[in-house]
Every structure is written in structure tokens, then in C-alpha cells.
Structure 1
Amino acid sequence: MQLASQATGKERREGLAERIYAQLKQDIFEFRLLPGDRFSEGEIATRMNASRTPVRQALFRLEQENYLEVHFRAGWQVRPFDFTYFEDLYDVRIVLEQTAVKRLCESIAPGQQEALQELLAIWSIEPDQRCYDAHQLIQMDEHFHQKLLTLAGNAQMTRIHEEIGDKIRVIRRLDFTQPSRIDTTYAEHTQILYATLHRRSEEAQRLLKAHIEVSKAEVRKITLHMVHSARN
């Protein structure tokens, strides 16, 4: 009975730590916690009505994911935006995704062609059929780009691409807060898929690079605007 009670208590703490982690991460994503903001474990514990143990677990997890910094004797801080860091990650994305479409253009097996056609059916649709929900779109967009890597068949490239996606999600999702950017994404994804399906390798790579470059520039502009607005 004692062991069962201990196990239940541990599961409860782990569940609470998960909830605190998710809430703080959402606060960072929604700019309720701004880059550079400082706070203590005690403040979070009071706000979440929790003990410091699950709070500390959640905070260290967010630190490992590069959302927070810990300053011993000075509390915690939301990591300031380092646009050079994010833009470097976007540049790696470009290399990985260009390599993926190049490999696909060189040899498209029937199964790969079918999967690309399925992607085309999602993105090549009329404006009145498009999704304009930002939360759903970030998942759809990540699936599109990740699928290109998966179809290319290099497991290590796919893994690295997934890790980059996790790191840039905090700003990448902002690209879908404006209807014009959503419409552009649908059009550009369609163009990339057509070029790939027709094995126009150089065109597909050029379109893909331009697509990611524009997204990189837009999220930087939107991030700066949203942080400025939140502070004022």
C-alpha cells in the first residue's frame, strides 16, 4: 500500500509539472511572458498553486528547450530573442529541404508520388476552402515541410529537421497570424509540389528557398511588432 501511495504521489507531481510546463510555454508563445522578463520559482508556485518541486521541474525543462535562462541567486528569465540564432536555424532548414526535394526529383517512386499528390490535394484548393485557423495551420505547415524530409528517405536529416522545427516554433507560428501570409503559403506550397512532381529540381529548390526566406523575414518583423505592442 505504501509503495502504491508513493507511486500515485509521484505520478501526481509529474502530471502537475507537465501542466505547469505547458502553461508557461503557452505564456511565452502568447507573449504574456515577454523576452527578458524575470521571475522567481516562488512567484510561479504561487500563481500555479503548486509546490516548488513541480515548478522547478517545469522550469528546467523549458531551460533545456532554450525558452528560459536560470540565473542562480537571481531567479529565472525568459530568454531574449536572438534573431541570429533563429535565422541560422532557418538557413539549416533551407539546406535540408532543398536537399530533400533534389533527391525526390532525381527519383520519385510510386509511393512517394502518391504522398506528394496527397499533399497537393491539401494545399492546391480554392480560397474559400482554405483553413485560416493559425493553430491548425502551424501543424499543417510543419507536416508539409516534414513530409518532404520523410519522403526523401534520410532518417538523420529528418531527425535534425524535426529538432529545428521544435526550436523555431515559438516564432514560426506567427507567420500565420495574417490572412495574406496564409494565402501566400497555400500558393507557394502548391508551386513547390508541382515543380517536385514534374522533377524540375532547380525550380523546386529555388521556390523552396524563397518560401522559407520570406517566412523568416516576416516572422522577424511580426515578432518585433508583437513584443513592442505587448510592452506598450
Structure 2
Amino acid sequence: MHGSLSLRPALALGASLADQAYQLIKDDLFSFRLLPGERFTETDLAARLGVSRTPVRLGLARLEREGFVLASPRSGWQARPFDFERFEALYDLRIVLELAAVERLCARERADETDLLMALRDIWHAPPQQRLLDGRRVAELDEAFHCALVEAAGNPEMAQVHRDVTEKIRIVRRLDFTKDFRIDATYEEHGAILGAVLARQADDAARLLRAHIGTSRAEVSKITLRMLHEARGG
């Protein structure tokens, strides 16, 4: 196992040991402390967490269902190898869903405004001095922005599929917020997209949304390649 893996026995009140094992392992996967393709055992993880193998096994089973780890009968577990083609396909699906949501929103009457869109306006139209600077928090708000756009469109099945896609690409998507200039750009781009939606300018909203996702997609691909190279000692 990669030497920098840092599963910590930080026990949270009210959370089961299996939930904590799940979250700690997932954090290390998302931070590339556990590298794509790397093999590991339940015994090693249990020792690091200071718990029995049972909660570790339950946490890993949940991560396997979500597609983040693979089970191997003879060699324990493996962090899912990084597959750029899979992420490209997921980004394509994300764009289709969000463009469809924006089209629906722009086709509505202005009186049919939603609390979700108003809440987004309060965040993304805030003046520069009120913007957040913490990359992790902005990454969470970024996800919430895009999920809220789809949810506001009013199709719960579409929203659920979009949430599933969001979860699958989170491992690379949040890397977009490790650069200060991308945090500033996200505020500007989200504000412009939301402004076009609220003005019912469907063509502008679609163009801005496509450009925003495309820029983020290119940036995270570059960062991911660099991080993998550095983590492997390249």
C-alpha cells in the first residue's frame, strides 16, 4: 500500500464504524493518497483504523457498489484504475443533463421562479469581497449549483441520474478548485450562467454552461495527470 495513506481512527459521534471506514477510505481515494490501481487488504486498513475487519469490509463493499474500488478474491482489494475514457463519457452525460435542465428552466414563465434559483443568486451574484476563498468549500458549492439547476427543472429522475454522475466524477472534479484563479472564474461563470437562466436567454445560458464545463473538464484532466505522475514518483 502507498506509504502516505493516512486513515485516521477519528471516531465521530453518531456515525457507525462502517460509515467512518467508508468515509476515511473514500477521502484517501479522492486525495490520491490511495493511488488508482493500488492493491490493499482489509487487514491493513483495519489496523490503521484501529477497528475490526467487519466495518472495513462493509465500507469497502459500499465503495465497490459505487465503483471506486474493485474486489479481487485472491489479492484483496484494488483502487479502481484511473480511466480517462470513463470520465470523458460521464462528463458528456453531465453536459446533456444540464443543457436539458437549462432549456426547461428558460422555457418557463418568469412567475414560475423557484427558491432554488433564488438561493443560487444569493451565492453566485455576491460581490467579490463576500466570495469564499476556501477551495474545498467552493467545490461543494459548485456541485450544489449544478445539482440545483437540474433539480429546479422539475424532473426527479433526471436529477437523480445527475446526482449519480456528480458522485462518480467528484474524484477529479474537485481538483478544479486547487487553483485560486479557477475559484474566481467559477464565481464569474456561475453568475453569468444564472443571469442568463433568470433572463430566460436559453441560447446564452447553454453556450455559457457548455464553455464553463469544458474549461473545468480540461483543467481537471491536466491536474489529474500531474498528480498521478507526482504521486508515483515521476
Q: TM-score, normalised by structure 2?
A: 0.88
CA contact (8 A) 1:112 1:151 kept: no
Q: Which residue of 2 aligns with 1:158?
A: 159
Q: Which residue of 1 aligns with 2:168?
A: 167
Q: Which residue of 1 aligns with 2:96?
A: 95
User: Shift of residue 15 of structure 1?
Assistant: 1.4
Q: Which residue of 2 aligns with 1:204?
A: 205
Per-residue CA distance 1:132-162 (angstroms, 9 max, x = gap): 1122112211111111111111111111111
Which 10-residue stretch deviates more, 129-138 or 115-124?
115-124
Distance 2:57 2:118 in 1: 46
Per-residue CA distance 1:105-140 (angstroms, 9 max, x = gap): 111343526643432231123333211112211221
Q: Which residue of 2 aligns with 1:193?
A: 194
Q: Which residue of 2 aligns with 1:27?
A: 28
Q: Which residue of 1 aligns with 2:54?
A: 53
Q: TM-score, normalised by structure 1?
A: 0.89
Distance 2:122 2:21 in 1: 38
In the superposition, relative to structure 1, how do residues 116 and 15 fare at CA in structure 2: closer, same or farther (>3 Å)? closer
How does 1:43-82 map onto structure 2 within 5 Å?
43-82=44-83
User: Using CA pairs below 8 Å that are at least 6 residues apart, which structure has the higher relative contact order?
Assistant: 1
Taking only the aligned residue pairs, the percentage that are identical comes to 50
RMSD, aligned CA: 1.7
CA contact (8 A) 2:114 2:152 kept: no
Q: Which residue of 2 aligns with 1:41?
A: 42
Q: Which residue of 2 aligns with 1:7?
A: none
Which 10-residue stretch deviates more, 125-134 or 94-103?
125-134
Structure 1 portions without partners, runs of 5+ = 1-13
Which 10-residue stretch deviates more, 115-124 or 217-226?
115-124
Distance 1:108 1:171 in 2: 36
Find runs of 4+ consecutive structure 1 residues off by over 6 angstroms.
none
Amino acid at match of 1:196: V
Amino acid at match of 2:100: T
Distance 1:96 1:161 in 2: 7
CA contact (8 A) 2:42 2:53 kept: yes
Aligned length: 220
Q: Which has the higher helix share?
A: 1
